[in-house]
Amino acid sequence: MSQLEAEVKRAIKCDKLAFLASETEEAQEALQKLSALYGNARTKEADVIIALGGDGLMLQTLHAFMGTGKPIYGMNRGSVGFLMNEYREEDLRERLQSADITTIHPLRMEVVDHAGYSHVARAINEVSLIRQTSQAARLKISVDDRVRLEELICDGCLVATPAGSTAYNLSAHGPILPISASLLALTPISAFRPRRWRGALLPNRAKVDIEVLDSLKRPVSAAADHTEIRNVAKVTVHEDSEVEGLMMFDSDHGWDERILAEMFRY
C-alpha cells in the first residue's frame, strides 16, 4: 500500500454504507439481509459503496463512482469474482476498517470511426479491438508516435491495465501484471502475421495508436470494457492519470496475493 493509499485508509469512515446488487436472486437476497443489518445509505451520502454480485457489477460500480473518492468494496454473489471479496454477513464494518485500499487509473480510449466521428470511453480492464467479419483485421501499431508494427494480421489486439491483466488479456495469453506495476500489456489476439509476435510490455505513460488498415473491407470494433464502438478507423489508448478509483480488499487476501496465486495456477 502506498503512502497515499494509507492516508486515504485512515481518513475513510465506515459509518454509512450503500449497497448495490446485481439482478440475480442470490445478490438480491444478500442486499435485503445486509440492508437489514447495516442500513442502506444513499450513495451520495455513503462512506463506502458495497457491490454485491460478480466482476461485471464491480466494473460497472467502479465506472459509476470513478473520481468521486468513494471506495468500492465488492462481495462475491456472482459467477466470477476475481475482483470481489468473500461474502460474509458478520463483522462487515470491522472488515472494512482493516481492508487494504488499491488505487487504480483507467485507460482512456479515443476513437475515430469510418464517418470521421470521434468517441471517448474509459476502461478499467482493457481496450480491445476485434474483427467484425470473417476476414482477419490488419492493424498498424505505433507507440509514442513511432511505428512499431507496420502490419499485424490478427483477430484483434488489446491494451490491458494491471487490473485487467487477469481477464481477457490472460485468455489471449498475455502476461499477468502485479497491481502496483507501472506497466500496460499490449497483447495480440490470434496473431497470424507476424506469427511469433507475442505482444509487448509498455510503461503506463505510453500512448498507443492503432490504425485499422483496409478498414472498409475488414471492419473492426473497439471496446473499452463494456462500451463498444463499431467500424473504427483509428484508436488511441493511454492511461488517464488524472482520474482514479478506489478498491478495497480484505487485508488477508489482497490483490497482490490474488495475482500471485493466479501466476502459479496451472
Query: Do 16 and 41 touch, CB atoms closer than 8 A?
Result: yes
Query: Can you tell me whether residue 8 is helix, strand or coil?
Result: helix
Residues 33-59 as b/e (b if ≥16 CB within 10 A, e otherwise) read ebbeebebbebeebbbbbbbbbbebbb
* DSSP H helical ranges for the chain: 3-11, 25-38, 55-65, 92-98, 168-171, 255-263
For the CA atoms of 158, 118, 207, 122, the dihedral, rounded to the nearest 10 degrees, stands at -60
Cell of 33: 439481509
- The whole-angstrom separation of Cα 12 and Cα 129 is 38
Q: Could you say which DSSP state residue 105 is in? A: -
Residues at the binding site for NAD(+) are: 55-56, 125-126, 155, 163, 166-171
Do the Cβ atoms of 199 and 188 come closer than 8 Å?
A: yes
Active-site amino acid positions: 55
- List, in sequence order, every residue forming a beta bridge with 159; answer none if it has no partner: 127, 186
